[in-house]
Amino acid sequence: MENPNFLKQKYDLHNAPEVAAASKRAEIKTGEKVPQNPEARIQNYLDRLERLALDPEKKQPRKMFGAEPRPRALSLLREMVMNKYVRPNKEKMAEGAARVEERAAREMGMEINYGEQELAQRGEIAVTDLEKSLDNWIAYLSDMNEPYPTWFRYYAFRNILDLGDYDKDKGEFTKRSAGSTRLFPDIDRGALAYVEQMIEASKDPAMLERLQKAQRAAALENIPQNQLITKEKAAAFAKLSFAKQYTEGIRQAGEITPEMREETRGKWIRYEQGTDPTALWASLQNKGTAWCTKGFGTAETQLNNGDFYVYYTLDKQGKPAIPRIAIRMQGENIGETRGVADNDQNLEGNMAEIAEAKMNELPGADKYRQASVDMKRLTAVEKKTKVGQELNRDDLVFLYEINSPIAYFGYQKDPRIAELRKNRDPKQDAPIVFECQPEEVAHGIKDANETTKAYIGPWNMEIFQKIRKYPNIKHLCESFPDKKIFLQTLETNPDINSPELAEGALKGKNIYLSDWGKDLLYKTEFSQEKEKYDLVRFTVEQLGFSKGATTDEIYKKAEELGLELCPAQVGPHLRLQYPGREWMLIAMKRITDRDGNPRVFSLSSDSDKLLLDGYYANPGIMWDSGSEFVFRFRKLDS
């Protein structure tokens, strides 16, 4: 559907203030009038949304969103939504959560009452949970790799803001009210694809005809008339509320029973690039997958971009008909690998080896190799736990992601990680991981002494100075296992002693170097000899700025505390040696980019690569309290 006429009819969107504002911006920028017809005004607005939020040409300023840099506009959108829908209602949310817990306690014969402190905690927890569920939607609908048109992304996001989670007993979505503690709906990619497909069919006769043809072909011309998608059915569907449309999409999903999940025998089928999507589309209907490929238009888009492989396991009749693994090719290489373990499309444990064997036959498997290895190992740890076998230190280091995060195939982490951790006691596991006795672990700085080997507790400059007096402490965490404290010695590689060699080394390790990062790299002085730098990382708040601070304020305070700026070469050398995926900034003398803007190196990651970037660091720019900076320090005996 090329024209956004659907949004005009649904919301009278062409008369909305934001659409008028977008027209004015376009006219100022181009010097040309935006046509006054509704479709042109809405399309201009959608084009602006696409530039800002999707940023297909990667021209917008980036900011970390979750674990990867995304257009800065997404963070602004998130703040706007949170300030409108969630944060003003924190007190109501806290009260509601407390009442639910009190009722549950009374039903169990207990009596509990919440004071102000407990209510405040419930409010913070509710806000955090809602933020996470909202972030999932923003990240998904702003992902350029997803095949949705901009009008549909807008439509879906506008509507999920008014919905709570899905009530399975009633078969409907709850309506969000002020102060609701209910999370935003789960993302069902298959249901979304179904909604888009039906709306497209209501507006586009050609799409309707193709869907009908696909239905008849899939059913060998014997499809009952009442199951055929007609113009009237599609039009009626388009007029429904999004909540009812999404509900209908979920009902169309079907299910994979536990018995079906036990079956591993099956067959790979290849759908060739550029072929008719009917067979692929038909094979996924009512089979319990959450793949967006269940939408006809999505299946067609994906086949236009490359081959598509599906592994079907045997059904009750012994036919390979239950889709369990999808491998989508993007051109000549693997674009993504997905499973049916959950709505986030993780692979089931018993599908990991089958997926790995197939991926090894295809180009571009390297970036998925670690995920395959980790999924097999996670399955082994899961089996040990189920039979009551003790996990050894290597198992715990893996499960707690001490050395590196567990790679996965889905959109979110494999849920088995959280499930396995939930049944363990981190306090008992920590000494095993750190290879020391329980009494050698300090839970707070007051417990630290000359025999301490591991520290778990708050982190700031004052504690750092005290920790330095105890050389036996080799392991540091703010909390175990989730927040490891960054304190390490970096030794530069003397063979990487020029910008050209550094760029080659980054490419060799599949690390993405942004354009801004490259600007800084080629103005960086590299040592010709091995250098050693003792590095420590603090958030802006840990340096004493609970409400954030400017770059100059941070640098000045660090100097007062005895910290030093890092040489610029720390950025590329640290990126080459440090496997962590979190976002951090190198506190360094600023370097100007091609446009004359001051920047510092930043380390981060996207979905499958580590990144070295150059982040804007004007002296007066305000950093939030959670921003993390890496500094150099001198050892006490130097």
pLDDT band at 413 (very low <50, low <70, confident <90, very high): confident
Please compute the mean of the pLDDT values over residues 23-46 and round it to a whole number.
89
Q: Among residues 430, 402, 388, 364, which one has the least CA distance to residue 608? A: 364
Strand-pair category, 266-271 with 172-175: unpaired
* Residue 504 in this model has a pLDDT that exceeds 50: yes
User: Measured between alpha carbons, how far apart are the two ends of the chain, in Å?
Assistant: 69
Please compute the mean of the pLDDT values over residues 293-310 and round it to a whole number.
92
pLDDT digits (tens, 9 = 90+) for 511-530: 999 989 999 999 999 999 99
pLDDT of residue 637: 60
Query: Which regions of 407-526 does DSSP assign to beta strands (E)?
Result: 441-442, 454-456, 475-479, 483-484, 487-491, 512-513
Please compute the mean of the pLDDT values over residues 543-553 and round it to a whole number.
93
pLDDT of residue 98: 64
pLDDT of residue 222: 59
Strand-pair category, 610-616 with 512-513: parallel
pLDDT of residue 392: 96
CA–CA distance, 319 with 325 (Å, rounded to integer): 16
Please compute the mean of the pLDDT values over residues 30-52 and round it to a whole number.
89
Question: Residues 6 or more apart from 434 whose CB is under 8 A from it?
Answer: 440, 441, 453, 454, 474, 475
DSSP 3-state of 464: helix
pLDDT band at 540 (very low <50, low <70, confident <90, very high): very high
In the beta sheet, which residues pair with residue 269? 310
pLDDT of residue 558: 95
Specify the DSSP element, H or E, that contains 278.
Answer: helix 278-284
pLDDT digits (tens, 9 = 90+) for 424-481: 999 999 999 999 999 999 999 999 999 999 999 999 999 999 999 999 999 999 999 9
CA–CA distance, 586 with 573 (Å, rounded to integer): 11
pLDDT of residue 487: 94
* Tokens 């951090």, residue located: 584
| Average pLDDT along the chain | 88
pLDDT digits (tens, 9 = 90+) for 342-359: 888 899 989 999 999 999
| CB 481, CB 400: distance < 8 Å | yes
Please compute the mean of the pLDDT values over residues 181-196 and round it to a whole number.
86
| CB 587, CB 570: distance < 8 Å | no
* Residue 41 in this model has a pLDDT that exceeds 50: yes
Task: Select, from the ranges 327-336, 535-544, 598-607, the one with the highest average predicted confidence (pLDDT).
Answer: 535-544
pLDDT digits (tens, 9 = 90+) for 83-117: 877 777 777 766 666 666 666 556 666 666 666 67
pLDDT of residue 638: 46
| CB 389, CB 420: distance < 8 Å | no
Q: How many residues does the chain have?
A: 638
pLDDT of residue 1: 45
Q: Among residues 80, 77, 7, which one has the least CA distance to residue 44? A: 7
CA–CA distance, 477 with 483 (Å, rounded to integer): 6
pLDDT digits (tens, 9 = 90+) for 396-407: 999 999 988 888
pLDDT of residue 145: 80
Please compute the mean of the pLDDT values over residues 413-429 and round it to a whole number.
92
CA–CA distance, 477 with 471 (Å, rounded to integer): 16
Residue 480 CA: distances (Å) to CA of 66, 400, 430: 20, 9, 7
* Lowest pLDDT segment from 84-98, 235-249, 352-366, 582-596: 84-98
pLDDT of residue 83: 82
* Lowest pLDDT segment from 301-305, 342-346, 365-369, 463-467: 365-369
CA–CA distance, 96 with 91 (Å, rounded to integer): 9
73 token code pair = 């506009």
Name residue 223's amino acid: I
pLDDT of residue 416: 92
| CB 289, CB 282: distance < 8 Å | no
Computed from CA positions of residues 224, 226, 231, 234, in that sequence, does the dihedral angle turn out positive or negative?
A: negative
Q: Considering only residues 184 and 561, tell me which one the structure prediction assigns the higher pLDDT.
A: 561
CA–CA distance, 187 with 185 (Å, rounded to integer): 6
Please compute the mean of the pLDDT values over residues 280-300 and round it to a whole number.
89
Please compute the mean of the pLDDT values over residues 23-51 and round it to a whole number.
89
Residue 7 CA: distances (Å) to CA of 203, 206, 349: 12, 20, 42
* Lowest pLDDT segment from 103-107, 437-441, 485-489, 500-504: 103-107
pLDDT of residue 123: 67
Q: Among residues 335, 333, 326, which one has the least CA distance to residue 284? A: 326
pLDDT digits (tens, 9 = 90+) for 152-170: 999 999 999 888 877 777 8
pLDDT of residue 319: 93
